[in-house]
Structure 1
Amino acid sequence: MVPKGRQRQCGRVDKVDSARKCAAGPQRHRKRRSWARRPAHQKKPERSGKQRQRSVDGPLYGALDLGTNNCRLLIAAPGKGGFEVVDAFSRIVRLGEGVSQTGRLSEAAIGRTISALRVCANKLKWWNVTRNRLIATEACRMAENGRAFLDRVRDEVGLDLEMADRATEAQLAVAGASPLVCPDACKVLIFDIGGGSTELMWLDITDGKQEIQAWTSIPAGVVTVAEKFGGVFVDDQVFAAMRESVRPLMEQFHNQTRQICDGGAGPCHLLGTSGTVTTLCGIHLNLPRYDRSQVDGCWLDGNDVGAVTRELLAMSHEERASSPCIGKQRADLVMAGCAIFEEIRRLWPSDRIRVADRGLREGILASMMKEDGVYGRTP
């Protein structure tokens, strides 16, 4: 199952001892699926506020990623090898719902998002966070009322969100995922399939130094592709159309990376930071419910990904929704993510795919702590 060398603690983001796993390559797992859920009477009890009382010394940092589909917050303290997460929040808000068709954020989506952001604001205040960076991405960039929405958030919630450009988003995604780059690799393709866009970053590693040699952001994500083709009824024909729609958007970057390599070999491995990749990994591992400690840092091979994609494609919408690693809120988006992922694998074939349940938020935290000279330090 999970290689012994990988940290299994969900709360701590450390430098990963991955040399042994790189040599071993992708891990094999049994293929049988079970969508059985935890019985209601066995649900994990909620921790009370007193149980979650702050027990860390030193400064706390906050990172918020407001995307097209999700609102996510991490609060962390510097810790050994990186940082330790002390609180987290994630909610599907679908801020970008309909933006690809109307060009505007809807009032319903704004209401859902402001509700989630109030929770984030309360957490940042309760923990007395010393420094934070709050980022809004593609949905706000696309929408003509995106700036007005951020002004409203500042006035009503008290959070000052930054509308990050695509270059910043790509850099932060790499900063968050780069600890999972195999130390033996010389070139890696990092990708982040978001709700409204997909970022692709070509990473060169020379003498242990990582450098982004090329990057791109394409205007296609799970929400925009699903809205264009429909995400409920997806058969072979619809899935093929999804793939064909994103293919030309990647061709120029594919040619660019081939020129960098003088037409030679592709990446040593792929590194995916998106919800699509973590979802497919969770299903492949046959998890009874999603477990970050089992997924983050896991290796897959191309056959693993292809098998799960074909299995999901053969299912009905209801069957996909019953998967504990997908759920009702994401069932209409998962096949759009698979279509984008399949095109990435077609253009940059690799039998070695690493899964990262980390990304923009972790990149924000690492960047701020490094600027302050406290990254990896204990109080």
Structure 2
Amino acid sequence: MTDPVSRPSLSWRGAARPAAPAYAALDLGTNNCRLLIAMPTAQGFRVVDSFSRVVRLGEGLAASGRLSQAAMDRTLNALHVCVDRIGRRRLRGLRAIATEACRRAENGRSFLRRVEHETGLAIEMISTREEAELALESCAPLLRTAPGSGQSRALLFDIGGGSTEIAWVRLDKRSRPELIGYRSLPLGVVTLAEQFGDDAFTEAGYTSMVRFVCDQLRSFEALHCIGREVAAGRVRLIGTSGTVTTLASIALELPRYRRSAVDGIALPSSSALQAAGALRRMGRSGMEAHSCIGPDRARLVLPGCAIFEAIHRRWPCDAVMVADRGLRDGMLLRMMRDRSAQLPMPPFPIPSLSVAAGMVPSA
């Protein structure tokens, strides 16, 4: 255990000289530890530093109900890196959150106390509702309604490691998107990967995953009658997760991932489903070798595709808007807005790219 006397100090607290106009947001999830440091701009913010590491905090959690010692040690190592990066800057604000793994684990709160003791970083365990709200906050600039589009609703999904957040949203071009209802499914790419194991790479196992997730969505559909709005063409489907950005990368045949190429594009659902099929044909070894996936994520991709396919099967929109933004973006925008009044929304339309339905890589 790190000597508490030598733990890093976070220089944004009580800084002796005026703080730089920068903010930091840290998201500790089931699979990843992510940090974003940014400065506000007229369009939102400009990233000045970022860090992401696969820590697998929720590894084995579904079976044991607890965070393992190895997972906590890996995560602490990553958090020490984050604290070091935070400590190099004088910030106006910092927020750090933990999500499903810490919510679900018996020792989740005690682990966060240990984190604060060893690093000085206070991490807040947020509710599933706030998780959905932060995802919506991050995607709000992409949800401005186009004049004459007829879209008055959005269905936003965020596929995480331990849970999947579904948000049903009211759109109005005169105001910010409004959350009508939300559902947090207690399943994500890590939990499905552990539940289905190697079967996830078989056609039968993949079909079972899709059916399993579909069943989890039935009650949300019964409550909000979303299918009726989808059939009338009034719903915009938007996804924010590694799953949808990976599907977009495969559909666009990118040699390596580029955020600027996928964030904000309208990806035809047919292209997304064909990309999922291409990934299934690659198999695990093919995904491990793919520059947009790699060995750390290969076992998680098909569970994510199954969740997306289940969402599309339940609510078959013609296209999915791809958002490479998440909880950190939502936290940053919230902190900046609360600190310096309303941040202006980008003017409509957001630059986007519609992908031809046939653009998928060959198997």
TM band (smaller chain): 0.7 to 0.9
Instruction: Kindly indicate whether the alpha-carbon contact (under 8 Å) linking 1:297 and 1:356 is maintained by their aligned counterparts in 2.
Output: yes
- Give the RMSD, CA atoms, in angstroms: 1.9
What SS does structure 2 have at the residue aligned with 1:72?
Answer: strand
CA contact (8 A) 1:266 1:349 kept: no
Amino acid at match of 2:160: G
Aligned to 2:272, what secondary structure does the other structure show? helix
**Offset at 1:312?**
1.1
Residue 305 of structure 2 is aligned with which of 338, 343, 348?
338
Write out aligned runs for 1:146-295 (5 A).
Answer: 146-184=108-146, 185-209=151-175, 210-231=177-198, 234-258=201-225, 265=232, 267-295=234-262
Residue ranges of structure 1 left out of the alignment (5+ in a row): 1-56
Shift in Å at residue 58 of structure 1?
A: 3.9
Q: Does 1:113 align with 2:80?
A: no
For residue 325 of structure 1, the aligned residue among 277, 280, 292 is 292
* One-letter amino acid of the structure 1 residue matched with residue 298 of structure 2: A
- The aligned amino acid for 2:134 is L
What is the distance in 2 between the residues matched to 1:182 and 1:325?
29
- Mapped partners of 2:138, 2:26: distance in 1: 13
In structure 1, distance between residues paired with 2:244 and 2:230: 27
| 2:255–2:291 CA contact under 8 A, matched in 1 | yes
Which residue in the other structure is 2:24 paired with?
Answer: 62
Task: Tell me by how many angstroms 1:285 deviates.
Answer: 1.2
Aligned to 2:35: 73
Quote the residue 1:23 is aligned against: none
CA distance in 2, matches of 1:179, 1:102: 40
Q: CA deviation at 1:348?
A: 1.0
CA contact (8 A) 2:143 2:171 kept: no
1: CA distance, partners of 2:184 / 2:286: 32
How many residue pairs get aligned? The number is 322
Q: Aligned in 2, Cα 1:308/1:143: closer, same or farther, shift over 3 Å?
A: same
Question: SS at 1:220's partner residue?
Answer: coil
Determine whether 1:373 maps to 2:340.
Answer: yes
Structure 2 Cα separation of the partners of residues 327 and 73 of structure 1: 21
Q: How big is the shift at 1:224?
A: 0.2
Q: Is the 8 A contact 1:266 1:348 kept in 2?
A: no
Distance 2:185 2:230 in 1: 23
Q: Distance in 2 between matches of 1:260 and 1:314?
A: 31
Q: Partner letter of residue 95 of structure 1?
A: L
Contact 2:38 2:45 in 1 (8 A): yes
TM-score (norm 1): 0.81
Aligned counterparts of 2:274 and 2:226: Cα–Cα separation in 1: 31
Q: Which amino acid aligns with 2:155?
A: L
Residue 188 (structure 1) shift:
0.8
C-alpha distance in 1 between matches for 2:291 and 2:120: 35
Residue 206 of structure 1 aligns to a residue in which SS?
A: coil
Unaligned residue ranges in structure 2 (runs of 5+)? 1-18, 345-363
Give, in whole Å, the separation in 2 of the partners of 1:286 and 1:207.
34
2:240–2:323 CA contact under 8 A, matched in 1 = yes
Shift of 1:127: 1.3
